[in-house]
Amino acid sequence: MEKKKRSGGVVVSEPLVKQADEVSLIVFACEAGMGSSLMGTNQLKKLIKKANLDIAVQHSPVGQIPPGVDVIVVHRSLSNQAHSVAPDAVVVPFTMFFNDPAVKQLVATLKAGEPVVSVY
pLDDT of residue 10: 52
Tell me what percent of the residues of the chain surpass a pLDDT of 70: 87
| pLDDT, mean over the chain | 89
Element (H, E) at 83: helix 79-85
Q: Which of 29, 30, 44, 90 is the catalytic position?
A: 30
Q: How confident is the model at residue 98 (pLDDT cuts 50, 70, 90)?
A: confident
Grouping H, G, I as helix, E, B as strand and the rest as coil, residue 52 is coil
Q: Is 30 among the residues known to form the active site?
A: yes
Domain boundaries, the chain: 18-117
- Superfamily name with CATH number, domain 18-117: Response regulator (3.40.50.2300)
The gap from C-alpha 45 to its chain's centroid, in whole angstroms, comes to: 13
pLDDT of residue 78: 95
Task: Report the alpha-carbon angle 17-22-25, nearest 5.
Answer: 100
pLDDT in tens, 36-89: 788 899 999 999 999 999 999 999 999 999 999 999 999 999 999 999 999 999
